[in-house]
Amino acid sequence: MNAAALPTLPEVLGLLARAPNVTDGVTSVFDRIGPSIESARLALEFADGSKLPIVWRDPTSVGAALPSTPGQLPVVTAAGVVATLVVHREQPFSPTEHHQLAAVADLFAVALARDAQLEDLQRELTARVQEVAHQRAFMECVVDSLPDGLHVVDRDYRIHAWNHKRETGLQGVARTAAIGRTIFEVLHRQPAALLKREFDEVFASGRLQQFQMESSAFGEPRTFRISKIPMRMGGGPVTHVITIGEDITDWKAALDRTAQSEKLAALGQLAAGVMHEINNPLATIAACAESLALQQELGAPATPPTELLRIIDLEVQRCKKIVNGLLDFARPKPAHRELFDLDEVVQQSLFLLQHHPRFKRVKLVMELAGSGQAMVHGDADQLVQVLIALAMNALDATPEGGRVVIRTSTARADDGRSLAQLDVEDDGPGIPRTLQAKVFEPFFTTKPPGQGTGLGLAICYGIVNDHGGQLELVSPEGAGAVFRVSLPTSTAP
């Protein structure tokens, strides 16, 4: 203990200096012989280097305060008698000197009490620091144990967290080389301007952003779902963005296999109508061929052969177009995202659907937004599959003579984003309210046994979600069904 640390001790020194004949030449008061207040010793140090101890209480002693006797005064705090101030002198102490020494003992008591409080605070601070360090180490261990890559950036795009997964792979970066640097200095998978736009959108909107990307960072092509999560400190504005890269290669492969199975099932339903549609041009081709053969026998053509050949070519092209459309729909394709018009998706889907026999007994109404109005960035083939599945469900629900409406439009989301919407509406019996929450669950179906796998809407939901959109049932009970696909519009890939 020194005079600078505890302001009480200068008062002690001053009082001792003013007390005549109590001590000669007291230069300092010190302690800290021992780890705690119970085992410490205090002493007065003189100019000649000698020390006069303040005798510490025996920690095993308890009871009332020690009596105050000349030259030996108890130092009393709230905890009781903690020490005895002993002053040696040959001459006896006068009452005045005794009172002065008692005042010194009281000042020592204040100093010791403050010292005890400081020690308690120091112990508490040490415990808190250790607790914080433990929690920090625990959270770092949790983050490092994640199988997915994770990093966190602030509004200046500087990296504050970088887990162990981000250190692995061919493109891994050590944590020490990433923390404190900007994300643009560390990640080079895409242009800095595009990467900045991804973060800016999350900071501005405060919404989760998700997209898929292909990467060979681990040696072979893998598919990752990138999630950018807004982080708020104390419920205020977004201060950081957490980015998680989840390897979904196996999941996506399984989803693609299931989607392909559903596509082939839909193709099977279309086959009967397509075969009927092909029979008509085949009959025309057969008639033309028969006419050519007859003319060759008779030698007197009623119709010029060139005209018959032209008709045959037209019908062959018609058959080819139908078959190619089916093959194109059925053939597995790698994911390919580009800018496309939602109206074109409708036209492509209807080319296949128009051959379905059930389309002959309902009225089809198209209400399109107009060329170039509903532009979307994504996989057009996947959206064709979604529309065909929704339209087939509408055909199943619509009675003969009923109406199916396919509508494209644009709208504004609640957060101001521009949306392209695709509605498929029927005037069937609708879906009971008790079942509406389940329609997108895998293996759930309202169709009779044997007429549906229950995977169609679940697959559609996954495809739309992967495009950053939403598939929902927006119709009231008993008024037909309206399934709405909402996708963010785009002007650039």
* 115, part of any domain: yes
Q: Which residue has the higher pLDDT, 423 or 30?
A: 423
Residues 353 and 453 in one domain: yes
Residue type, 460: C
Contacts of 193 (CB under 8 A, 6+ apart): none
* Per-residue model confidence (pLDDT) at position 306: 79
Q: Which residues contact 352 (CB under 8 A, 6 or more apart)?
A: 270, 325, 326, 329, 388
Within this chain, do residues 376 and 424 fall inside the same structural domain, yes or no? yes
Name the band, by pLDDT with cuts 50, 70 and 90, for residue 250: confident
| 194 in any annotated domain | yes
Domain boundary residue, one of 212, 247, 282: 247
Pair 421, 302 in one domain: no
Q: For residue 278, what pLDDT is reported?
A: 72
Helix, strand, coil shares of the chain as percentages rounded to 5? 45, 25, 35
Q: Residue 84's pLDDT band (boundaries 50, 70, 90)?
A: confident
Let me know whether 225 and 269 are in one domain.
Answer: no
Q: Is the same domain home to 327 and 460? A: no
User: Could you tell me the two tokens for 87?
Assistant: 């002053």
Is 113 found in the same domain as 39? yes
Helix (H) or strand (E) holding 383: helix 380-397
E-assigned strand segments in 302-362: 338-341
- Of 53, 86, 121, the one marking the end of a domain is 121
Q: 15 versus 308: which is more confidently predicted?
A: 308
Domain count, the chain: 4
Q: Which of 198, 219, 247 is the last residue of a domain?
A: 247
The pLDDT of residue 56 is: 47
Residue (of 199, 137, 147) closest to 169 by Cα position: 147
Q: Is 468 helix (H, G, I), strand (E, B) or coil?
A: coil
Q: Which two tokens stand for residue 468?
A: 């950053």
pTM for the predicted model, two decimal places:
0.51
Among the residue ranges 152-156, 273-277, 324-328, 449-453, the one predicted with the least confidence is: 449-453
**Judgement on whether residues 356 and 451 belong to the same structural domain of the protein:** yes
Q: Which of 372, 375, 368, 470 is nearest to 409 (CA)?
A: 368
Structure-model confidence comparison of residues 84 and 117, the more confident one: 117
Half-sphere exposure of 386 (CA within 13 A, CB side): 34
Residue 18 to residue 369: CA distance in whole angstroms: 99
Q: Which residues contact 143 (CB under 8 A, 6 or more apart)?
A: 150, 161, 163
**302 lies in some domain:** yes
Distance CA 488, CA 207 (A): 14
By three-state DSSP, how is residue 183 classified? Answer: helix
Domain assignment present for residue 459? The answer is yes
- Residue 290's pLDDT is 76
Contact indicator for 324, 274 with CB cutoff of 8 Å: no
Q: How confident is the model at residue 39 (pLDDT cuts 50, 70, 90)?
A: very low
pLDDT at 415: 74
**Helix/strand number for the chain, H first, E second:** 11, 17
User: Which one of 246-255, 344-353, 401-410, 427-436 scores highest in mean pLDDT?
Assistant: 401-410
- CB atoms inside a 10 Å sphere around CB 256: 16
Q: Are residues 369 and 453 in the same domain?
A: yes
Helix (H) or strand (E) holding 271: helix 249-298
DSSP code for 359: G
- 475 and 357 fall within a common domain: yes
Q: Which residue has the higher pLDDT, 468 or 32?
A: 468
Query: Is residue 210 very low, low, confident or very high in pLDDT (cuts 50, 70, 90)?
Result: confident
Residue 382 in any domain: the answer is yes
CA gap 252, 246 in Å, rounded: 12
- My answer on whether 351 and 486 are in the same domain is yes
| pLDDT tens for each residue of 112-137 | 777 778 888 899 999 999 999 999 89
> For residue 240, what is the enclosing H or E element?
strand 238-247
Bridge partners for 53 per DSSP: 43
pLDDT at residue 266 is higher than 70: no
CATH code assigned at 22: 3.30.450
Give the pLDDT mean for 92-111. Answer: 76
Q: Phi, psi at residue 337, to the nearest 5°?
A: -105, 135
Do 342 and 473 belong together in one domain? yes
Q: Return the residue matching tokens 């800290």.
A: 32
Report the C-alpha gap between 174 and 477 in whole angstroms. 56
Q: Residue 482's beta-bridge partner residues? A: 425
Q: Residue 361 pLDDT more than 80?
A: yes
Q: State whether residue 236 is helix, strand or coil.
A: coil
- The CATH code of the domain that includes 454 is 3.30.565.10
Domain encompassing residue 319: 249-332
- Output the six-digit token pair for 335: 């994911």
Quote the CA–CA distance of 103 and 100 in Å, as a whole number.
5
The verdict on 187 and 275 lying in the same domain is no
Whether residue 133 is contained in a domain is answered as no
Chain mean position to CA 13: 64
In a domain, 134, yes or no: no
% of the chain exceeding 70 in pLDDT: 72
Lowest mean pLDDT among 77-91, 120-134, 345-359, 375-389: 77-91
Whether residue 473 contacts residue 439, with contact meaning beta carbons closer than 8 Å, is answered with: yes
C-alpha to C-alpha distances, 353 to 66, 200, 294, 357, nearest whole angstrom: 105, 42, 38, 9
Q: Does 26 score more than 60 pLDDT?
A: no
300-358 pLDDT tens trace:
655 677 777 877 887 787 777 777 766 666 666 666 788 899 999 888 888 777 767 77
User: What span, in angstroms and rounded, lies between the C-alpha atoms of 235 and 326?
Assistant: 53
Quick count: other Cβ atoms within 10 Å of Cβ 314? 13
Q: Is residue 132 part of a domain?
A: no
- Which of 194-203, 270-279, 367-376 comes out lowest in average pLDDT? 270-279
How many degrees, rounded to 5, is the angle at CA 171 between CA 167 and CA 174? 30
What's the sign of the alpha-carbon dihedral 66, 67, 71, 75? positive
First to last CA, the chain: 71
Contact of 467 with 378, CB cutoff 8 Å: yes
Residue with the bigger pLDDT between 63 and 243: it is 243
Residue 153 or 400, more confident: 153
